[in-house]
Chains A and B, each alone.
Chain A
Amino acid sequence: MIQVESHPEELLDRIASHTASADDLRQFEEHASRCQACAAHRTLRPTVRSALEPSLEDKMRNERAVAVAMSGLGARVRRRSTSRSVWLLAAAAVLVTGLAGARYFGRLRTAPVPVTDSSTATTTAGQPANSPAALPESPTEAVDGPPVQDKAKRALPSPEARETASQVFAEANELRRTGKDSQAMVTYRKVERLFPGSPEAEQSYATLGSLMMEHGSPQEALGQFDHYLVHGGPLLVDVLAGKATALQRLGRTAEERRTWETLLERFPKSVHAARAKTRLAELH
């Protein structure tokens, strides 16, 4: 029967928590000398733990993530409530029509429609029981933000100002993922315009540039790529390749050559390296 050596996960945990005995350490070292998987695990562990530590910015980002998620959940609830809202509005319309008719024929005075406080889902006191505003709001509308029918009544800041960079960026990404490129490009521009300097705007330059290249606009794409290259980021190598390709399509050979050379110098093993070398050979 073949004896399978198990991997000493408990020893690894004791070593990581500094509770390992001398014997534990000796046993683990013997195993690690034969098992590169556990040796690699031990090598990785301190770096992984350090990378997983929350940063100072994470708390702010977490708050934003929760706010965006709540907003997204609210939109889903409002969409589910649409049919119920339509029923309520229809019922209200019937009631108002009936009241107007009664007033015409029987001098019934209607109370002014109260402004509903949507944050508490109550109406102001003293309203007639048969006023439209007395109809109960849907319990599923108890979400952030006013019900749809109250938006016109409230003096809100412009809709654009109320959105966050993250929300608009997420919307642009979703449009891109679902193949709605034209709308995606408009929305990425919106991120850049409304939230300049934000991480989302920086990312938008790369993505929008790529979309512009796909849609045959190398000059505009170049502008986007150059914006991204000012600060760089995780897509730096791809943006350099995109910029070089845009320059090729525009016939700006000298700049194209310099861009490929920069790419090769900084990322000699990247997936674009082969094309860079081929193109540089063609240009010489």
Chain B
Amino acid sequence: MIAQVRTLENGLVAEQSADQNASSELSALAHRAREGDTDATRSLLREIVPAVRRTCKGVLGAGHADLEDTIQESLVAFVQALPSYRFDGDITHYAVRIAFRATLYTKKRSIRWRDRFRLTGTIEETTDLASSSPSDEVVLAQRRKALERVLAKLPREQAEALTLRIMLDFSMNEIASICDVPLNTVKTRLRLGKDALRRHMERDVVLRAAFGDKT
């Protein structure tokens, strides 16, 4: 039993050590990138681009017309923001923070662009009924839109915390690192945000239906 615990602890220590090594390698790349080292910049971007893509995809959806543009803009913005990075946290989370901001801006801009193309009215659901059993992607897109309507009514910090938590599946510790705020602040924002979300769902039949509640 004791040997098993020690093995488990060793495994955890080894994993933490591996994480720390990866983190320090990224920090070293970031230092060199800040000094104008092109190869280091490229290597650093290659390391963080999966997290950036995940962030942009989580907010915009995989089929969004501006997804690739937004990812590229986020990478450029990340490099330009390197001089401001304080090397006091996970640099991947720093990149996610920048990508998240860029993606929210793209979303607002995208809505304005689609409004130019639209002939009438306000934004509503667009479910393609040619598909008799909507794919997971279609269902997720519907739920994302339903959630976004509610989040648009919340204070910005709560909406962002909920987006990071629900649509991007970050843990509370990760959200604290991404937003550069204490963990308790994240907990408060999530609690208040979910309270508001619950109130909206209690009043909104369409919103409940989007999540499979047939009552």
Contact = CB atoms under 8 A, between A and B. Distances in A.
Interface of B: 36, 38, 41-42, 45-46, 49-50, 53-54, 57-58, 61-66, 68-69, 71-72, 75-76, 79-80, 109, 113-114, 116-130, 136-137, 139-140, 143, 147, 165-169, 171-172, 187, 190-191, 194-195, 197-198, 201-202, 208, 211-213
A37 interface: yes
Contact of B194 (A7, A245, A265): A7
B37 to A, nearest CB: 8
Nearest to A207: B65
Interface in A164-184: 166, 169-170, 173, 177
Contacts of A36: 197-198, 201-202, 208, 211, 213
A27 B63 CA distance: 37
> Which residue of A37, A54, A170, A275 has the most chain B CB atoms within 10 A of its CB atom?
A37
B143 A37 contact: no
A143 B38 contact: yes
Contacts of B49: 62, 65-66
Contacts of A269: 124-127
A52 B58 contact: yes
Contact residues of A: prevailing secondary structure:
helix
B187 A9 contact: yes
B168 A52 contact: yes
Interface stretch (A84-92, A102-110, A146-154, A232-240): A232-240
B126 A142 contact: no
A2 B80 CA distance: 48
Nearest to B64: A234
B197 A173 contact: no
Contact of B130 (A76, A242, A266): A266
A173 B190 CA distance: 36
Given A65-B75, A271-B123, 18 more contacts: A7-B191, A9-B172, A36-B208, A47-B136, A48-B168, A52-B58, A52-B168, A69-B75, A69-B79, A73-B76, A144-B38, A173-B69, A207-B65, A234-B61, A237-B126, A238-B117, A266-B128, A267-B128
A162 interface: no
A35 B198 contact: yes
Given A38-B194, A271-B124, A62 B50 contact: yes
B212 A52 contact: no
A4 B76 CA distance: 43
B129 A272 contact: no
B26 to A, nearest CB: 15
B38 A37 contact: no
A70 B38 CA distance: 8
A208 B103 CA distance: 23
A104 B194 CA distance: 84
Given A65-B68, A242-B117, A6 B191 contact: yes
